[in-house]
Structure formats: structure tokens, C-alpha cells
């Protein structure tokens, strides 16, 4: 697979040589951050090595590079919308509408040199596919099984390039591949049986034997999924508990452990982890009478003894009236993608460790409400699992189409 080592691939080779894909030495998380506004849109991923942020923006919803350069990645032929879900070493992946009248939705890969390339589907090209993450040579995601008529259930997919979609086995029913690390370990979730609405468990396909799905849920729950996986095989995600949605961190020794919440909060999310073992998410307290959160802030946990969390609002030097409510992604250099609110307006921001690094501000960023229609805060179900990460928005839409849903305790609205 060809990679462009341009403006956002500059550090890759150097960082890999210094850090290695595994065995990165522990380092302390940043003690202070500088906030950079990223303007409108939604961010879905950050390149762990060179801090490129991708997602989607605009009325028509196009896949975008959001940092350090702002660039519309366009759509597949005849398409009208697209979304970027993953980025690694100059390559972006996601999904785009395509085909006659734009009626199809296919996974894509993008490079600066080649533009959008259709990765294809599993079997029949009329079925759906989406790429969620990638490493140096492999794309992962999910799609309908188009090898039969009618199409089979949604399955986790792996591509080595265009037209190579192959399914991963599941625990018994539908499945999704959400993340892949540098060694080729893949994690996501799958249903235990083919029965509609069966339990969904966090699932990993370790590189030693990807033909064997491993149920990594070690807590009593009907619903869990992995959102991110480090090169040290530490996974983070969300799990349904009696208190509602909570974040977890997993390793092969301790199993799945609930993350620590801020005092007084009852719910949490854990959305991204870096190779130093620092991970981010949110700590929150639902308001049962309104469905909103009485308290919700973006947090970071340090790797040492899984300690924390620390409210990221206390570490940012230039909040200027904002409140950080969710952290989505963290890179190996500690850059954090987060969502902030000012009154009833939401904003996408990047938190840069204040260690003297020179950073580039995207040239077209405008304050919320100036130059683009501001995104208003929506009332959220206190159990909204979709809000844990923008990548899950496409799954919410898919669940609406097929009429499925997570357990009632973890159900969220499409947004």
C-alpha cells in the first residue's frame, strides 16, 4: 500500500525508530495543554504518530482532514457524502456513498497521491461496507455479508487493499471491527448468537490467530465494545453496568476493569489510549428527570497504576469560557481531540501539550457562530452509547435501518 510522507507523514519514520511499535518507555502525561479550535465538524481519529486529525464536516458531510491542514477529501464516484474514520501514515479510511445516483455506501482509502479508492464490499457490491481503522498494510471495519441472497448479517471485515474484503469470525452473530494496532491485533465487538438482540461483547482477534475471536468481557454485562487498542495490547471501551454506561480498560492479565470516575459521578467513557498507557474519555453524572447530564467533563487517566481521572479543564491554559465535556482521541505525543461547549454551542478542539512544540493552526477555523452555522448541544440520553465516540454515529444509523438496538440500559439516539 502506497503512503504519502508529506505534511502529515514527516515524523512517522523518526517516531517509529525512536519509540518502536512495542515496548515504548513510560512517560508522564502532560501537566498543561494549549487549546486549538478546529472549527465545525466531527473528529473520528488522530494518527498516533504524527497527530493528523480526520473526521467529517459541512452541510453535505464530506470526509475531511481537520489538522494540521484542512482538506476536503471528497466522495467516491457519483457519491454525495463521506466520512473519515481512521488515519495512519498518510492514508485515511472511512466510507462514502457511490454508484448510480449515489445509492451505495462503500469503504474507502485515501492518499494525497491517489485520492479516494473504493475498497469494496464482501460479495455483492450492492451491500454496505465501512472502514473504521488501519495500520501500515491492513484496513478493518464492517459490512453486510453479500455472499448470499438475501445478504447475511453485518460482519467484521479486513482488507489488504481494494477488492480484498474478508470476514472475521464472530462469537456467534453480528460483529464490528473498530480498531487495529501496529502488530495487527484487531478489536471491536460481536454478538454471542445469531438471535436478534443477543448479548454484545467486546471482542478481539489477536494477530497470533485471527481466526479465533476472543471474548474479552470479564464483567457481568449484556453490552460492551472496544473503541481503541494500543501497541501494548491495552484496550479501552464502554460497558453497560447497573449504573449505566461506564468506561473500561483491559489487559490480558487483569481483564476488564472499570475506570475510576470523578467524585460524585456515576458514569464514564474510555475512548482512546496511547502507547504510554495514558487514556482519555469522560466522567459524568446523569440527571434522571431530564436525560441530560448534571455533570460531564473530559478526563485523562495516567498509566501509573491506572490512576486518575484528572479533569482536563484544570490543565488547559486558554479555555476562554469553554468547558471540555468529552475527549475522543489521544496520540503518542499526548495530543488530545475533545469536544467543548460554550453556552449551548459545541466546538471541536485539539489539546496540545504545552512543552514548547510549535503547532500549526488550521487556516480556516472560525469561532462558533461566525462563518458557519453553530452546532447546538442536543439533549442526550444519560445512557447514550453513541455519544462515546463519533465513529459510532454510523452504527447508530445502521441500527435504525435494521431495527436493532443495544440493550435498553445503553441505548442512544442517532445524532
Contact 314, 29 (CB under 8 A): no
Tell me phi and psi for residue 220, to 5 degrees.
-75, 115
Confidence of residue 292 (pLDDT cuts 50, 70, 90): confident
Contact 90, 111 (CB under 8 A): yes
pLDDT the model gives residue 373: 36
Residue 219 clears pLDDT 50, i.e. is over it:
yes
Residue 375 maps to a domain: yes
Mean predicted confidence (pLDDT) in 23-48: 81
Strands (E), 135-234: 139-146, 152-159, 166-167, 175-180, 186-191, 200-205, 214-215, 224-229
Mean predicted confidence (pLDDT) in 126-153: 96
Confidence of residue 306 (pLDDT cuts 50, 70, 90): low
Higher pLDDT, 363 or 17: 363
Higher pLDDT, 154 or 372: 154
Under 8 Å CB-to-CB from 284, ≥6 apart: which residues?
265, 266, 267, 268, 269, 293, 295, 296, 297, 382
pLDDT tens readout for residues 312-350: 999 999 999 999 999 999 999 999 999 999 988 899 999
Residue 311 maps to a domain: yes
Mean predicted confidence (pLDDT) in 248-266: 95
Mean predicted confidence (pLDDT) in 130-141: 97
Residue 371 maps to a domain: yes
User: Total structural domains in the chain?
Assistant: 1
DSSP 195: S
Confidence of residue 197 (pLDDT cuts 50, 70, 90): confident
Higher pLDDT, 306 or 393: 393
pLDDT the model gives residue 39: 85
Query: Which grid coordinates are listed for 395?
Result: 452504527
Confidence of residue 23 (pLDDT cuts 50, 70, 90): very low
Residue 367 maps to a domain: yes
Residue 415 clears pLDDT 70, i.e. is over it:
no
Residue 201 maps to a domain: no
DSSP 3-state assignment of 366?
A: coil
Higher pLDDT, 392 or 248: 248
Q: Which residue has the cell 473504521?
A: 132
Residue 316 maps to a domain: yes
Higher pLDDT, 401 or 158: 158
pLDDT the model gives residue 377: 38
Residue 275 clears pLDDT 70, i.e. is over it:
yes
Radius of gyration of the chain from Cα atoms?
20
pLDDT tens readout for residues 54-96: 999 988 899 999 999 999 999 999 999 999 999 999 999 999 9
Whole-angstrom Cα distance, residue 268 to residue 11? 33
Residue 384 clears pLDDT 60, i.e. is over it:
no
Mean predicted confidence (pLDDT) in 99-118: 96
Question: 206 - beta bridge partners?
Answer: none
- Domain with 298 in it: 27-52+259-385
Percent with pLDDT over 90 in the chain: 70
Residue 65 maps to a domain: no
Q: Average pLDDT, whole number, for the chain?
A: 84
Higher pLDDT, 125 or 393: 125
Residue 324 maps to a domain: yes
pLDDT the model gives residue 199: 95
Element holding 323 (H helix, E strand): strand 323-330
Higher pLDDT, 364 or 391: 391
pLDDT the model gives residue 8: 39
DSSP 16: H
Amino acid at each position: 500500500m502506497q503512503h504519502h510522507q508529506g505534511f502529515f507523514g514527516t515524523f512517522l519514520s523518526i517516531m517509529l525508530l525512536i519509540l518502536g511499535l512495542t515496548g515504548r518507555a513510560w512517560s508522564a502525561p502532560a501537566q498543561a495543554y494549549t487549546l486549538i479550535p478546529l472549527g465545525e465538524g466531527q473528529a473520528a481519529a488522530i494518527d498516533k504518530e504524527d497527530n493528523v486529525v480526520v473526521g467529517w464536516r459541512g452541510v453535505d458531510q464530506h470526509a475531511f482532514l481537520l489538522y494540521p491542514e484542512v482538506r476536503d477529501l471528497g466522495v467516491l464516484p457519483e457519491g454525495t457524502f463521506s466520512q473519515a474514520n481512521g488515519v495512519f501514515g498518510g492514508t485515511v479510511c472511512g466510507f462514502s456513498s457511490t454508484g448510480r445516483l449515489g445509492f451505495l455506501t462503500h469503504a474507502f482509502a485515501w492518499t494525497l497521491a491517489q485520492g479516494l479508492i473504493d475498497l469494496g464490499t464482501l460479495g455483492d457490491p450492492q451491500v454496505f461496507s465501512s472502514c473504521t481503522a488501519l495500520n501500515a498494510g491492513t484496513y478493518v471495519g464492517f459490512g453486510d455479508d453479500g455472499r448470499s441472497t438475501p445478504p447475511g448479517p453485518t460482519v467484521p471485515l479486513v482488507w489488504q487493499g481494494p477488492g480484498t474484503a474478508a470476514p472475521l469470525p464472530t462469537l456467534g452473530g453480528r460483529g464490528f471491527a473498530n480498531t487495529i494496532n501496529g502488530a495487527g491485533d484487531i478489536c471491536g465487538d460481536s454478538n454471542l448468537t445469531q438471535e436478534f438482540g443477543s448479548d454484545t461483547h467486546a471482542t478481539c482477534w489477536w494477530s497470533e490467530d485471527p481466526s479465533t475471536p476472543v471474548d474479552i468481557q470479564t464483567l457481568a454485562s449484556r453490552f460492551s465494545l472496544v473503541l481503541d487498542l494500543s501497541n501494548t495490547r491495552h484496550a479501552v471501551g464502554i460497558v453497560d453496568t447497573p449504573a449505566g454506561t461506564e468506561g473500561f480498560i483491559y489487559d490480558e492479565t487483569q481483564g476488564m476493569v472499570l475506570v475510576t470516575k470523578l467524585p460524585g459521578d456515576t458514569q464514564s467513557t474510555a475512548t482512546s489510549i496511547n502507547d504510554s498507557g495514558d487514556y482519555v474519555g469522560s466522567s459524568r453524572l446523569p440527571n434522571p428527570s431530564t436525560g441530560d447530564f448534571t455533570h460531564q467533563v473530559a478526563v485523562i487517566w495516567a498509566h501509573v497504576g491506572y490512576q486518575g481521572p484528572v479533569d482536563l479543564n484544570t490543565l488547559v491554559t486558554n479555555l476562554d469560557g469553554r468547558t471540555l465535556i468529552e475527549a475522543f482521541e489521544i496520540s503518542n505525543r499526548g495530543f488530545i481531540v475533545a469536544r467543548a461547549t460554550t453556552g449551548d454551542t459545541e466546538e471541536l478542539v485539539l489539546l496540545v501539550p504545552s512543552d514548547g512544540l510549535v503547532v500549526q493552526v488550521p487556516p480556516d477555523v472560525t469561532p462558533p457562530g461566525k462563518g458557519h452555522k453553530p452546532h447546538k448541544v442536543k439533549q442526550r440520553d444519560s445512557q447514550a452509547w453513541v455519544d462515546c465516540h463519533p465513529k459510532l454515529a454510523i452504527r447508530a444509523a445502521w441500527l435504525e435501518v435494521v431495527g436493532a438496538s443495544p440493550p435498553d440500559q445503553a441505548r442512544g439516539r442517532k445524532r
